[in-house]
């Protein structure tokens, strides 16, 4: 369930499925990823989020103003200690 520009996650369950697919993709071909280490991945994630308005504009869309940024941050933080 890797995302294309036209895909949309409807709910938390879609996000869970996406994250599991992303993890599976990393297990299968993580050595092919541009950012295969946590250090590089988090740096790239921060850089992409910072410039994401341009990506949305290029895709002909607007950056979602109502995104739940706190939920996303809490999920990333929880993953540092959650088993």
Report the length, in residues, of the chain: 83
Say if residues 23 and 1 touch (Cβ distance below 8 Å): no
My answer on whether 79 and 42 are in the same domain is: yes
My answer on whether 44 and 25 are in the same domain is: no
- Looking up tokens 């959650």, which residue turns up? 82
pLDDT digits (tens, 9 = 90+) for 13-51: 998 998 999 999 999 999 999 999 999 999 999 998 888
My answer on whether 23 and 56 are in the same domain is: no
My answer on whether 44 and 79 are in the same domain is: yes
Task: Provide the whole-model pTM.
Answer: 0.79
Say if residues 73 and 49 touch (Cβ distance below 8 Å): no
Q: How many domains does the chain have?
A: 2
- Domain hosting 18: range is 1-33
My answer on whether 25 and 39 are in the same domain is: no
My answer on whether 20 and 39 are in the same domain is: no
- Looking up tokens 């995302």, which residue turns up? 3
pLDDT at 12 over 70: yes
């Amino acid at each position: 369930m890797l995302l294309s520009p036209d895909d949309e996650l409807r709910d938390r369950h879609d996000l869970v499925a996406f994250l599991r697919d992303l993890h599976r993709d990393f297990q299968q071909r993580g050595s092919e990823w541009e950012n295969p280490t946590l250090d590089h991945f988090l740096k790239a994630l921060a850089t992409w989020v910072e410039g994401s308005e341009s990506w949305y504009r290029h895709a002909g869309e607007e950056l979602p103003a109502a995104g739940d940024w706190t939920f996303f941050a809490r999920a990333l933080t929880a993953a540092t200690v959650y088993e």
